[in-house]
Amino acid sequence: MSEELALKAEGLTKSYGRVRALRGIDLEMRRGEVLGYLGPNGAGKTTTIRCMLDLIRPDGGTLRVMGIDPQDDPVEVRSRAGYVPGELQMYENMTVEGVLRYVNGLRRDSADWSHVRELADRLDLDLAPAIKNLSHGNKQKVGVVQALMHRPELLLLDEPTLGLDPLMQREVLRLILEARSGGASVFFSSHIMSEVEAVADRVAIIRKGVVVEIADPSSLIRRAMRRAKVSFREPVDAGRLAEVQGVTVLSEDEGTSALLQVEGEMDGLIKALAALPVSDFETERPSLEEVFLSYYEDDEEEG
């Protein structure tokens, strides 16, 4: 397998009893890339990540992490990866420093402690208190520090900013970008579209255990359906616009204005509007969140 790929999954499947969590995941992540992994609860994000670390074993398909099958050499994969679990739990009676030293001990003290302190300082994390006395956000910071402290080649982050305030969210995103600048590959799942948009080179959208789309965020947004609001100097038959390929008339106001949904290129609509007495024309690009939600509209209808 090419060493240029940090991750490669082909036809990955995993079931929990009757629940099919992964139904054939096909995914590639290049080295030095930040790949956002988007999906609602239960889509299979955590299952995918845990397969990468050999915490669970897929039922079928192939998976390579930095060129290694995690089941063949899980220790090597884990030594080169840093992981923030989605449900982070630690020994409550240990101090923050105690937990980090324990993790570092499991990593044969590979982390430079000055780097640990630096990360803690940047995240405003006090190393002294016991874990049980920390807020959820501060516990999450411990998770981020332990994942980053040994400067891993690959970061597997399952909702890394969960519970963090906006300032710390931004700091974590900075750390992710710095890791990438340092050559690391970052695979992270998140529900927060703005942060995925901010840092991800590409976004993979998972739906019902299958990756339905992988593209860079701007391309996704560009290809997605947009809305256009058109005002006319005199009433027109908005039905003419509905005949343009990719255009749906969402609403109209007695021919004086119309709200349109446009899928794909705007060229057809622009040419159609050129023949009409247009007084105003506005378009808005959907957010990544709207793009993401559009992949799940069918699920809502079925519900």
Partner 1 sequence: MITVFRYSLRRLRGQVLGWGIGLALLGLLLVSMYDSIASNIGALEDYLEVFPEEFAAFFGDFTAFGTPEGFLGVEFFSYMPLILGIFAVLIGSGLLVSDEESGRLDLIMAQPVSRTGLFLGRLLAFVAASVGITVLTWAGLAVPMSWSTMDVGRGQLALPLLTMLVQVLLFGALALLLSMLLPSRRLAATTAGLLLVASFFITGFANINEDLEPVAKLSPLTYYQAQEAFGGLNWEWMAGLLGATLVFVLLGWWLFQRRDIRVGGEGGWRLPALPWRRSGSGEAN
Which one of 65-73, 246-254, 267-275, 281-289 is the stretch in contact with partner 1 (CB under 8 A)?
Answer: 65-73
* 56 makes contact with partner 1 (CB under 8 A): yes
Amino acid sitting at position 16: Y
Which one of 83-91, 162-170, 205-213, 282-290 is the stretch in contact with partner 1 (CB under 8 A)?
Answer: 83-91
Which one, 87 or 300, has the nearer CB to partner 1?
87
Amino acid sitting at position 106: L
Least CB distance to partner 1 at residue 195 (A) = 22
Residue from 25, 29, 46, 204 in contact with partner 1 (CB under 8 A):
46
Tell me the C-alpha to C-alpha distance, in Å, between residue 67 and each of 3, 42, 54, 150, 188.
Answer: 6, 28, 14, 20, 19
Q: CA 225, CA 206: separation in Å to the nearest integer? A: 19
* Contact pattern for partner 1 over residues 92 through 131, marking x by CB under 8 A: ----------xx-xxxx-----------------------
* 37 makes contact with partner 1 (CB under 8 A): no
For residue 51, count CB atoms less than 10 angstroms from its CB and return exposed for 0-12, middle for 13-18, buried for 19 or more.
buried
Q: CA 103, CA 13: separation in Å to the nearest integer? A: 31
Which one of 85-93, 176-184, 258-266, 290-298 is the stretch in contact with partner 1 (CB under 8 A)?
Answer: 85-93
Least CB distance to partner 1 at residue 255 (A) = 57
Which one, 150 or 207, has the nearer CB to partner 1?
150
Which one of 82-90, 183-191, 200-208, 254-262 is the stretch in contact with partner 1 (CB under 8 A)?
Answer: 82-90
Tell me the C-alpha to C-alpha distance, in Å, between residue 1 and each of 5, 185, 194, 248.
Answer: 8, 17, 33, 45
Which one, 140 or 193, has the nearer CB to partner 1?
140
DSSP result, 186-211: EEEE-S-HHHHHHH-SEEEEEETTEE
Determine which helix (DSSP H) or strand (DSSP E) holds 174, and give its type and residue range. Answer: helix 166-181
Backbone angles phi, psi at 44, to 5 degrees: 120, 10
* 182 makes contact with partner 1 (CB under 8 A): no
* 12 makes contact with partner 1 (CB under 8 A): yes
Which one, 211 or 236, has the nearer CB to partner 1?
211
Q: CA 168, CA 173: separation in Å to the nearest integer? A: 8
Per CB under 8 A, residues contacting partner 1 are 10-13, 17, 46, 50, 53, 55-63, 69, 71-72, 74-76, 78-79, 81, 83, 85-91, 102-103, 105-108, 143, 146
